[in-house]
Structure 1
Amino acid sequence: MSGAVGVGSRHDSGAGGGGRDTGGGRGDGAGDDAGALLRARLRRADEQIETPPGLWDRVKGPGTGPVPWAVAPPRRRPYAVVLAVAAAVAAVLLGVWWLVRPGPVAVRPSGPPRTVKIDVYNSERACRTGRSLECALRLARDPRTAYAARGNAAGRVWHGDEVTARCVVTDGLLIRDEAGVTSTRWYLVTSGQGVRGWLPGVRTRNTREVPECADDMP
C-alpha cells in the first residue's frame, strides 16, 4: 500500500508541474512580441527624424560651448534716439561751461561819453568883466590849424563861461596867451549856447582830468 500511494504522489506532482510549465511558456512569448513591436516603432520613428541643415557644421565649428541664440536688439523710435542724443550733448556742454565759466562781469549801462565841466579863463584882467567882442575868445574848428586863421572860428566864449569838455588832445598847435603861458592842449567843448569847438588850453585853468580824444575824433 505504501508503494501505491507514493506513485500517485509522483504522478500528481508531475502533472501539476507540467501545467505550470505550459503556462509559463505562453507568458514569455507574449512579452517577446510586445518588445519587438516597440523596437520596430522606435526604429521607424528614429528613421523619420531629419538632421537640421548645418547642424554638423555648427557642432564641428570652433568653441565647445552651446551655440548662442541671436537676439535682435529692441528697435527704438526715432524721436527717442533724438532726445537721447540731445540730452547727451546738453550734458557735455553744461560740463564744459562749468569748467571754463568766466568770472562775474560787471555790466555797465550804455550812455553818453563822460564829460567834464571847465571854466573859460582870460589872462587879460580888463576882459574879465563884460562880454564885448574885443574880449571874446575863439572856439576853433581845428586844433592843428592857425588859431587866428580865417575860417577856423566855430564860435565865441568869454571869461567865466562854463563849458562842457568831452575830451582833449595834447599834440595840438602851440598857443601862447597874453601872460606868456604856452600849451599844446586843446579841449573839445560845447558852450552854453550849444556851440561845439576847440578851446586852447591857455584859455582855461582846468584842474580836472579829461579823457583824451580818440584818434578818429573829428
Structure 2
Amino acid sequence: MSGSVGVGSRYDGGAGGGRETGGSRADGAGDDPEALLRARLRRADEQIETPPGLWDRIRESDTGPAPAVVALPRRRPYTVALTVAAAVAAVLLGVWWLMRPGSVSVRPAGPPRTVKITVYNSERACRTGRSLECALRLAKDPHTAYAARGNSAGRVWHGDDLAARCVVTDGRMVRDEEGVTSTRWYLVTSGQGVRGWLPGVRTRNTREVPECPDGVA
C-alpha cells in the first residue's frame, strides 16, 4: 500500500525535561508515551490509501458463475398411483395363481400299506420242501368253502412271507390239522404277485392288520 506515515519530531532523550525538538507537539499527547503512540498510530491509519482498482477486483470475483444445481425429476401424483396399482395387481395375480382350484395337484395314491405275515403249516412234514402235497391254497372268496372247486387263487408254502393288506373276521370257518379254527381271512399278495385270501389258521400272525373296508371281500 502507498502512503507515508509521519513519525513526528524525534525525542533526543537529553536532559531538557522531556522537551521535543522542533517545537511543541501537535497531537496534544504531552509527555505520556502511551498517548503519544496512540496518536501516531491514529495518524498513520488516516494516511493509509486504498490501492487503485481494489474494489473493482472484489466485485468481479463476486459475479463469477454460480455452481450448477441439477434438479431431480419429480414424480407426478398419477405416476405414483399407477406404480402402486400395478404392484398391487401383481400381488393379487400371484395369490390367485397359487390358490386357484386347478393349482391343487392331486398326487396319485400309492400302494396301500401292508403288514408282513408268514405262512404256517401245522403239518411238520410239510415245513420243508415245496411239493404240491404240502402246498396251501389262497382262496378267491373268504365266504366260500375253502376247498370248493374254483375257489383257488394260487399256492403258498410254509415259511413264505406275504404282504397282508387287510383282514375280514366274518369269513368261512376253517379248521387246521391240529384242530385250530378261525373265521379270520387275510387279503394277501405273495412274493410272486399272486393275490388271494389266506385263512387265519394258516398263519401265526401277531401283528395288527386293519379290517377290510366294505366291498373288498
Instruction: Tell me the SS of whatever aligns to 1:153.
Output: coil
Question: What whole-Å deviation, never above 9, does each CA across 1:113-158 have from its counterpart, x for those lacking one?
Answer: 2100000000000000000000000000000001001100000000
Unaligned runs of 5+ in 2: 1-84, 86-106
Alpha-carbon distance in 2 for matches of 1:166, 1:110: 15
CA RMSD of aligned residues (A): 2.3
Alpha-carbon distance in 2 for matches of 1:158, 1:109: 34
Question: What whole-Å deviation, never above 9, does each CA across 1:22-62 have from its counterpart, x for those lacking one?
Answer: xxxxxxxxxxxxxxxxxxxxxxxxxxxxxxxxxxxxxxxxx
Unaligned runs of 5+ in 1: 1-82, 84-107
Alpha-carbon distance in 2 for matches of 1:176, 1:164: 23
| More helix as a share of residues | 1
Aligned partner of 1:33 in structure 2 is none
Aligned partner of 1:28 in structure 2 is none
How many percent of aligned residue pairs carry the same amino acid?
85
Alpha-carbon distance in 2 for matches of 1:137, 1:110: 32
Alpha-carbon distance in 1 for matches of 2:209, 2:138: 18
Aligned partner of 1:50 in structure 2 is none
Question: What whole-Å deviation, never above 9, does each CA across 1:72-131 have from its counterpart, x for those lacking one?
Answer: xxxxxxxxxxx9xxxxxxxxxxxxxxxxxxxxxxxx995322100000000000000000
Alpha-carbon distance in 2 for matches of 1:137, 1:130: 13
Aligned partner of 1:130 in structure 2 is 129
Confirm or deny that 1:175 pairs with 2:174: yes
Alpha-carbon distance in 2 for matches of 1:197, 1:209: 19
Cα deviation, residue 194, structure 1: 0.3
Superposition TM-score, scaled by structure 1 size: 0.50
Alpha-carbon distance in 2 for matches of 1:112, 1:130: 32
Return the letter of the residue paired with 2:202. R
Aligned partner of 2:213 in structure 1 is 214
Confirm or deny that 1:155 pairs with 2:161: no
Q: How does 1:73-88 map to 2 (within 5 A)?
A: none
Superposition TM-score, scaled by structure 2 size: 0.50
